[in-house]
Structure 1
Amino acid sequence: MPLDPRIADVTDRIRERSRPLRRRYLDRIARARAEGPQRAHLDCGNQAHAYAATGPDKSRLAEGRAPNLGIVTAYNDMLSAHRPYEDYPRLIREAARRAGGTAQVAGGVPAMCDGVTQGRPGMELSLFSRDAIALAAAVALSHDTFDAALFLGVCDKIVPGLVMAAATFGHLPAVFVPAGPMPSGLPNDEKAAVRKRFAEGRATRDELMAAEMASYHGPGTCTFYGTANTNQMLMELMGLHLPGASFVNPGTPLRDALTAAAAERALAITALGNDWRPAGHVLDERAFVNGIVGLMATGGSTNLVLHLPAMARAAGILLEPADFAAIAAAVPLMARVYPNGLADVNHFHAAGGLQFLIAELLEAGLVHADAVTVVGDGLHAYTREPCLRDGALHWTDGPRQSLNDRILRPVADPFQPTGGLVHLSGNLGSAVIKTSAVAPDRQRIEAPARVFHSQEAVRAAFREGRLDGDAVVVVRFQGPRANGMPELHGLTPILSVLQDRGHRIALVTDGRMSGASGKVPAAIHVSPEAAAGGPLARLRDGDPVVLDACTGRLEALCDLSEREPAQPDLSASAEGLGRELFGLFRRAVGPATEGASAILPPLTEPA
């Protein structure tokens, strides 16, 4: 099927605006390839340090003729999604040896869990952890003794940070190796109902704890369709996973076979062979457009609207909010996965999953079929799903019909005709709203502003009965410069209760919501942020505000121009739990519209 002209136009605009930056980036990759891995040029002392602990691989490494894989791992056993990675290095080393290569753990990167830090001071490090992950991965790969890299990571900031590092070392092939979701536990709608009852004082903490533990119950990714699982979808749509790898449960023979196959594939696409597929060539404008298409078709996490521009910039590509809006207008919503429906990712996978979805998008011309991937054959390879036959890994054609149309639908019969994300703009700035779970009659809210400077202040107003009526709840000074742009997921139960009481409720913030944000309309990532003098800093209680997802409008129905901006005391966010170490990040961070990164080079041309 020819590429849809709307998708072609967006891609052309991205390619044209990125041309100077992308050219310099590709030139850098070419120079790095020409130089080759430096282990061949190390003196004996350097090599002895690099290979001292490699045991049976030592002689092969010293010869320098066989490809060597660098493993960058986000393993820890506090994150359920990353617990399975404990055994991956052993599996990868064994697979590499069988294939005639070697593998070493190049280094580890931090991996924090937003589910643990929600509403706590540690959440103010969450977004900046993405940049810290990219920096840590760069240190790991800086030894320059690798021919390809395997990246082990799943969750919210981890995958975007690892992609930024993979792009920076764009001359190296990069294969991302997932861990898979935990098996289904307590249904997400039941868990959400207990959270709402607890917010109203109608459930005990013991009841809340029992529900949470029944939902998050074992190794693997959380099963709702938040940022972690949206990341996994992206890695397939962008050609960095093996086909069908995203949602295979951990601790299964198929999961182990896919991990071994990832190592074998990485060895096959190094510059030492005849099929060099470096990360910088995979991560072109087609890959990022395909990823955004997948984001819209599945109603994925709003966090990726923040992360994708940062990931793209690391590869010399410039994404703008208008690109997301244009793609959303062209792509139908094909999936209903919690919080956009009752199903979890295991149910989505069983209904046909990404293989059905990608086949539909290809047939409709909504994705670039010719995008470079780590496996070849463009995106068509990702319509095939893995299976084991007599213990050997094979790929077979995936389903061409949905096995449950309450979860997954074809392009011709979608849940809604446009994607689940809308770009908003007006005199309050630029923002994004996720609409895939918001009822149509809630997609336009006009109500008085109720202005707060923290989640706790909103909670206090709720407990005291001061939030009992129609309101646009404004939580400002939550942007990256103010306090690191924490997620405000703790507000979801409160706002849901108010909406269920019949009030017209919306949220407007320069902070983030969880990737699992749902049925309450929320204009998030407002830019410029209040701490940078943005219009939110001039808003007052009672000002009439319109949030209209149907027309893309976010406006205060009053004149803000003559007002002095609020100047709150933000010193409490400057220290404690490591926040004092991130002052440089808060001072250097760019706007949300450019990815809110503190480490990427400026967009201006060099003098």
Structure 2
Amino acid sequence: MTLDPRIAAVTDRIIERSRRTRAAYLELIGAEREFGVDRPRLSCGNLAHGFAASGEDKKAIISQRAMNIGIVTAYNDMLSAHQPYGRYPEQMKLFAREIGATAQVAGGVPAMCDGVTQGQPGMELSLFSRDTIALSTAIGLSHGMFEGAALLGICDKIVPGLLIGALRFGHLPMILIPSGPMGTGLPNKEKARIRQDYAEGKVGEAELLEGESRSYHSAGTCTFYGTANSNQMMMEMMGLHVPAASFVHPGTKLRQELTRAAVHRLAAIGWDGDDYRPLGRCVDEKAIVNAAVGLLATGGSTNHAIHLPAIARAAGILIDWEDLDRLSAAVPLIARVYPNGPGDVNGFHEAGGISFVVHTLIEAGLLHDDILTVWEGGLAAYAGEPSFEGDALSWTPVVETRNEAMLRPASAPFQPDGGMRLVAGNLGRATFKTSAVDEERWTIEAPARIFADQDEVIAAYKAGELFRDVVIVVRFQGPRANGMPELHKLTPPLGSIQDKGFKVALVTDGRMSGASGKVPAAIHLSPEALAGGPIGRLRDGDIVRLSAEEGLIEALVDPIEWMARTAAVRPRQAPGTGRELFAFLRAGASLAEEGGSAMIAAMETMLDGAAEPEPAIVTNVEDREIDA
């Protein structure tokens, strides 16, 4: 099928914009391949340290005739999605030995559960946990002991962080290995009802906890289609998984065989063979566009409006929200998965899942099917679902949906566009996810009520002050202000206001979760308030117009008065929960549209040939504010 010209045009736009930075990146990984640190360059003392605890694998590692796979794992047993990874390394070592290779755990990375920290102070560490994960990945791979790597991670900041760090070693072949979702628990509609009933005071904490426990009940990824499961979809669209590995349950024979296949495949695409597939070549402009197309077609998490630019920049590729907006206009919405529909990812997978999504999007000319994938057969291989043929894995193409209430062909979508719009105006630029919002609510014009955090919103809600037409503005929530925590706690009260018949919208320089739903929201507003963004000029009572149809977010204030206003001052924040440790990351964070990362901004500066930036020097301690 011929590629849709709109997809081609956006891809060309990205290629042209990225020409210099992508060339610098490819030069970097080429030099690392030729002159970087690897096992043959290690001294005998270096090498002895590296295999001292390797037991029966020592001889193979010493011989240097077989690939040594570095395992970077996000295992912990507090986070349900990552608990299954506990046994993976020992299994993967056995799988590696089957084909004459070896494997070692190169390092562990933090794995934060946003579900645990949601609405708590720890959530202010969430976005920058992505940078910490990237740094931890780089430390693990910096030893030069490995000719390839397996990346074990699933959830929100973990996959982006692993990829950002791994792309600095883009000369190595790498595969991401998921562990799969938990089984379906409490129906999502019932879970949402209980949450809203609790917000309205109709049920107590005991009923709420019971409902939440029935929803999140076992090992595996949470089953709503939020950031974690959107991560898995994007890795398939980029060809970085074993095909259709995303949504197979933990603890099954099929899951184990998919992990075995990943280990075996890594050995096959190493740099000493004739099928060398380095990560930095797999993640190119076309792969990034494929990830965006998949995100839009399935109604994935808005968090990837931040993560995808950050991943792309780590590979020298520059994308922006206008690219996403143009792609959204070209890509139909073909999936309805909670919170955009009643069924969860298990139902989506049973309906044909990512395999069918790949098939129908390729058929419609909406994906680049000529990308370099880790699996043989190119992207078309990802249109098959795995099963056993005897004891061997085989993949069967999925060419029809099994449930049109959840998954439709691109020729008969739920809506003609992907439902992630750029809105812009005198308040800046923001993301508006329309796919979960009824169309009659795509335009809201109402007086603003200004808040500095979500707890203030909830207090006003409980006091009965918000039951009217209102645009809730929550500012000083950007990367520089407080690490850009998700404001998911606001979903039930705002939904309650909307259900009472009022017009309500959220405008914020913060984030909403991939689990956000029916209330219209302009999120990631950029520039943020602390960076001098115009959201800081808003006052209570200002009329704000938010319109997805018009692509507009605007304060309807006289322009002369608007420009004369001074910006609001951020309320002072106290240290605690380790937030003060991340002050240097907040201080240097880029715009949300550029990925919201201090680390990537500094990295790009160095790739341009500039010196590493000098640290700031505090000359007057009395003038220094503790930035929590």
Give CA-to-partner distance per residue, 1:40-88, whole Å, 9 cap, x none.
Answer: 2222221111001111100110111111100000000000000010111
Q: What pairs with 1:438-457 in structure 2 (closer than 5 Å)?
A: 438-457=437-456
| Counterpart for residue 500 of structure 1 | 499
| Counterpart for residue 358 of structure 1 | 358
Q: Residue type of the partner of 1:517?
A: S
Quick one: distance in 2 between partners of 1:473 and 1:500? 16
SS of 1:154's partner is coil
Q: Residue type of the partner of 2:243?
A: P
Quick one: distance in 2 between partners of 1:260 and 1:227? 26
SS of 2:18's partner is helix
Quick one: distance in 2 between partners of 1:189 and 1:54? 50
In structure 2, runs of 5+ residues without a counterpart are 611-628
Q: Residue type of the partner of 2:504?
A: I
| Counterpart for residue 570 of structure 1 | 572
Quick one: distance in 1 between partners of 2:601 and 2:94? 39
Shift of 1:320: 1.0
Q: What pairs with 1:460-479 in structure 2 (closer than 5 Å)?
A: 460-479=459-478
| Counterpart for residue 509 of structure 1 | 508
Quick one: distance in 1 between partners of 2:166 and 2:225? 25
Quick one: distance in 2 between partners of 1:144 and 1:163? 18
SS of 2:598's partner is coil
| Counterpart for residue 162 of structure 1 | 162
| Counterpart for residue 421 of structure 2 | 422
Give CA-to-partner distance per residue, 1:241-285, whole Å, 9 cap, x none.
Answer: 010100001010000000111011111101011111000000000
Q: What pairs with 1:339-418 in structure 2 (closer than 5 Å)?
A: 339-397=339-397, 399-418=398-417
SS of 1:367's partner is coil
SS of 1:567's partner is coil
When structure 1 is superposed on structure 2, of 113-122 and 29-38 the one drifting more is 29-38
Query: What's the TM-score, normalizing by structure 2?
Result: 0.95
Q: Residue type of the partner of 2:72?
A: V
SS of 1:506's partner is strand
Shift of 1:482: 0.5
- Whether 1:315 aligns to 2:315 is yes
Shift of 1:577: 0.9
Q: What pairs with 1:229-378 in structure 2 (closer than 5 Å)?
A: 229-378=229-378
SS of 1:599's partner is helix
Q: Residue type of the partner of 1:465?
A: G
- Whether 1:153 aligns to 2:153 is yes
Quick one: distance in 2 between partners of 1:568 and 1:38? 48
Q: Residue type of the partner of 1:600?
A: I
Quick one: distance in 1 between partners of 2:599 and 2:181? 31
Shift of 1:392: 2.1
Q: Residue type of the partner of 2:564?
A: E
Shift of 1:36: 6.4
| Counterpart for residue 481 of structure 1 | 480
| Counterpart for residue 581 of structure 2 | 581
Quick one: distance in 1 between partners of 2:56 and 2:390? 29
| Counterpart for residue 27 of structure 2 | 27
Shift of 1:321: 1.0
Q: Residue type of the partner of 1:235?
A: M
Quick one: distance in 2 between partners of 1:279 and 1:223? 29
| Counterpart for residue 436 of structure 1 | 435
For the 8 Å contact 1:483–1:570, the answer to whether it is kept is no
Q: Residue type of the partner of 2:101?
A: G
Aligned length: 604
For the 8 Å contact 1:37–1:146, the answer to whether it is kept is no
Quick one: distance in 1 between partners of 2:36 and 2:114? 39
SS of 1:413's partner is coil
Quick one: distance in 2 between partners of 1:128 and 1:32? 27
Q: Residue type of the partner of 2:328?
A: A
For the 8 Å contact 2:590–2:601, the answer to whether it is kept is no
For the 8 Å contact 1:428–1:534, the answer to whether it is kept is yes
Q: What pairs with 1:173-184 in structure 2 (closer than 5 Å)?
A: 173-184=173-184
Q: Residue type of the partner of 2:112?
A: M
For the 8 Å contact 1:450–1:471, the answer to whether it is kept is yes
Give CA-to-partner distance per residue, 1:510-560, whole Å, 9 cap, x none.
Answer: 000011111000100000000111111000000000110111100000032
| Counterpart for residue 594 of structure 2 | 594
Quick one: distance in 2 between partners of 1:47 and 1:396? 44
Q: What pairs with 1:111-260 in structure 2 (closer than 5 Å)?
A: 111-260=111-260
Give CA-to-partner distance per residue, 1:315-359, whole Å, 9 cap, x none.
Answer: 010011110000000000000000000010000000011111110
Quick one: distance in 1 between partners of 2:495 and 2:202? 15
| Counterpart for residue 491 of structure 1 | 490
Quick one: distance in 2 between partners of 1:606 and 1:322? 28
SS of 1:561's partner is helix
| Counterpart for residue 74 of structure 2 | 74
Shift of 1:220: 0.3
Give CA-to-partner distance per residue, 1:28-49, whole Å, 9 cap, x none.
Answer: 1111212365212222221111
Quick one: distance in 1 between partners of 2:347 and 2:37? 44
- Whether 1:552 aligns to 2:554 is no
Quick one: distance in 2 between partners of 1:168 and 1:394? 33
Quick one: distance in 1 between partners of 2:586 and 2:436? 32
Q: Give the root-mean-square deviation of aligned CA atoms.
A: 1.0
Quick one: distance in 1 between partners of 2:359 and 2:115? 33
Shift of 1:606: 3.9
Q: What pairs with 1:511-526 in structure 2 (closer than 5 Å)?
A: 511-526=510-525
The alpha-carbon distance between structure 1 residues 36 and 566, as it changes in their structure 2 partners (threshold 3 A), is closer
| Counterpart for residue 561 of structure 1 | 563
Shift of 1:27: 1.1
For the 8 Å contact 1:384–1:396, the answer to whether it is kept is yes
Shift of 1:116: 0.5
Quick one: distance in 2 between partners of 1:205 and 1:83? 27
Q: Residue type of the partner of 2:203?
A: A
When structure 1 is superposed on structure 2, of 267-276 and 388-397 the one drifting more is 388-397
Shift of 1:144: 0.8
Query: What's the TM-score, normalizing by structure 1?
Result: 0.98
| Counterpart for residue 106 of structure 1 | 106
Q: Residue type of the partner of 2:457?
A: V
Quick one: distance in 1 between partners of 2:267 and 2:68? 8
For the 8 Å contact 1:468–1:498, the answer to whether it is kept is yes
For the 8 Å contact 2:509–2:526, the answer to whether it is kept is yes
Give CA-to-partner distance per residue, 1:416-446, whole Å, 9 cap, x none.
Answer: 0000211110000000011111001011000
In structure 1, runs of 5+ residues without a counterpart are none
Quick one: distance in 1 between partners of 2:38 and 2:470? 61
Give CA-to-partner distance per residue, 1:155-182, whole Å, 9 cap, x none.
Answer: 0000000110121110011100001000
Q: Residue type of the partner of 1:472?
A: V
Quick one: distance in 2 between partners of 1:505 and 1:299? 22
For the 8 Å contact 1:482–1:570, the answer to whether it is kept is no
SS of 1:466's partner is coil
Give CA-to-partner distance per residue, 1:100-138, whole Å, 9 cap, x none.
Answer: 100000000001111101111000000000000000000
| Counterpart for residue 619 of structure 2 | none
For the 8 Å contact 1:37–1:147, the answer to whether it is kept is no
- Whether 1:90 aligns to 2:90 is yes
Shift of 1:91: 1.4
Q: Residue type of the partner of 2:208?
A: L
